[in-house]
């Protein structure tokens, strides 16, 4: 009998998270059943009814890894209540994407993934990541006996030639991936050091790498290092700011967690087009 772990939270919708553009290896296998590959791990989650989830892993693995991965230590309900009720746009965005959480994903994986994300669309980003894993990751087998591929290590990508990377459909980003992989493999930039830095220091350090500018650095800070004050400004957010916050976003009202609100706004802009 396969081990499972039940968890209850009203502040999570896996479908929304999968479509939120923060992770690109989560998909719905069938109605309410999601699979996810993170680093070396494979997980499935079943949503039984609103708020009730079955994790297909042992209680130990849940406690040791997935609890933190899904940021269950954070009360998103309390956070959402802090939204200024007079801010109608933000209120609507949070209501629409109520089940979004900020996952605590692997640093290296997010560095590569968000280098790929630039000037790119979500279906193609997913394909790029999948091809990178299939070509350079390790082949593994999930509990169903199906094969899947782990995310490739820095050394593995540092050894890759440009041709091989371009075959993963990366386009001009292939060079960025190669140079960043080399810098990390040679420890010009240290992943472990990055994990200990403040937001400002980590952002600055990340931007030394080829293919990482302000926006990508902020995504890495937000989705891997969990510096939730990071507020990535991409084309969508720039348009939202211009339309709804001509005097600037009220960062002072949301000290230290504006990045979480950014994610609701981004998702609302992508999927909430009621016009």
At closest approach, how far in Å is the CB of 172 from DNA?
Answer: 3
Spatial distance between the Cα atoms of 86 and 123, rounded to a whole number of angstroms: 35
The CB-of-26 to DNA minimum distance in angstroms stands at: 13
State the number of binding residues for DNA (CB under 7 A): 40
Grouping H, G, I as helix, E, B as strand and the rest as coil, residue 275 is coil
Which tokens in the block code for residue 57?
A: 């892993």
The nearer residue to DNA, 39 or 171, going by C-beta atoms, is 171
Of 48, 88, 122, 162, the one binding DNA by CB under 7 A: 122
What single-letter DSSP state applies at residue 68? H
Q: Which is nearer to DNA, 47 or 240 (by Cβ)?
A: 240
Is residue 118 at the binding interface for DNA, with CB under 7 A as the rule?
Answer: yes
For residue 150, state whether it binds DNA (rule: CB under 7 A).
Answer: no
- 232 interacts with DNA by CB under 7 A: yes
- If the CB atoms of residues 140 and 215 are measured against DNA, the closer one turns out to be 215
- Per the listing, tokens 């919708």 go with 13
Binding mask 195-214 for DNA (x = CB under 7 A): --------------xxxxxx
Binding to DNA by residue 105, rule CB under 7 A? Answer: no
Whether 82 sits among the annotated catalytic residues: the reply is: no
Start-end of H helices in 32-87: 59-61, 67-69, 76-80
Q: What is the distance in angstroms between the CA of the first residue and the CA of the last residue of the chain? A: 49
119 binds DNA, rule: CB under 7 A:
yes
Alpha helix segments (H runs only) across the chain: 14-18, 59-61, 67-69, 76-80, 88-96, 107-117, 122-136, 154-159, 162-166, 173-185, 191-196, 199-206, 214-223, 235-244, 258-271
Scanning 28-36, 72-80, 229-237, 243-251 for contacts with DNA by CB under 7 A, the matching segment is: 229-237
Convert residues 11-50 into a mask of x (bound to DNA by CB under 7 A) and - (unbound).
---------xxx----------------------------
- Active-site entry in 81, 86, 215, 273: 215
Confirm if 122 and 26 have CB atoms less than 8 A apart: no
Phi, psi of 170 (to 5 degrees): -80, -15
Burial class of 61 by CB neighbour count within 10 A (0 to 12, 13 to 18, 19+): middle
Question: Which positions are annotated as active-site residues?
Answer: 215
Q: Give the residues lining the site for DNA (CB under 7 A).
A: 20-22, 117-125, 127, 166, 169-173, 176, 209-217, 219, 232, 234-237, 239, 262-263, 266, 270
């Amino acid at each position: 009998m396969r081990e499972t772990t039940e968890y209850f939270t009203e502040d999570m919708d896996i479908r929304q998270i999968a479509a939120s553009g923060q992770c690109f290896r989560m998909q719905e296998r069938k109605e309410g059943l999601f699979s996810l590959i993170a680093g070396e791990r494979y997980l499935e989650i079943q949503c039984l009814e609103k708020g009730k989830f079955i994790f297909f892993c042992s209680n130990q693995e849940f406690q040791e890894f997935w609890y933190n991965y899904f940021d269950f230590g954070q009360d998103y309900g309390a956070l959402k209540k802090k939204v200024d009720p007079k801010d109608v746009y933000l209120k609507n965005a949070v209501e629409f994407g109520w089940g979004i959480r900020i996952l605590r994903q692997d640093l290296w994986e997010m560095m590569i993934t968000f280098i790929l994300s630039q000037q790119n669309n979500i279906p193609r980003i997913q394909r790029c990541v999948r091809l990178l894993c299939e070509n350079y990751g390790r082949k593994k087998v999930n509990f169903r006996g199906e094969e899947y591929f782990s995310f490739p290590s820095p050394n593995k990508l540092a050894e890759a030639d440009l041709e091989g990377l371009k075959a993963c459909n990366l386009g001009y980003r292939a060079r960025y991936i190669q140079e960043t992989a080399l810098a990390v493999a040679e420890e010009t930039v240290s992943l472990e050091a990055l994990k200990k830095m403040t937001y400002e220091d980590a952002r600055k350090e990340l931007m030394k790498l080829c293919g990482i500018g302000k926006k990508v650095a902020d995504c890495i800070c937000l989705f891997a290092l969990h510096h939730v004050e990071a507020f990535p400004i991409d084309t969508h957010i720039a348009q939202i700011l211009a339309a709804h916050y001509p005097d600037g976003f009220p960062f002072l009202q949301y000290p230290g967690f504006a990045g979480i609100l950014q994610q609701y706004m981004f998702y609302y802009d992508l999927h909430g087009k009621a016009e």
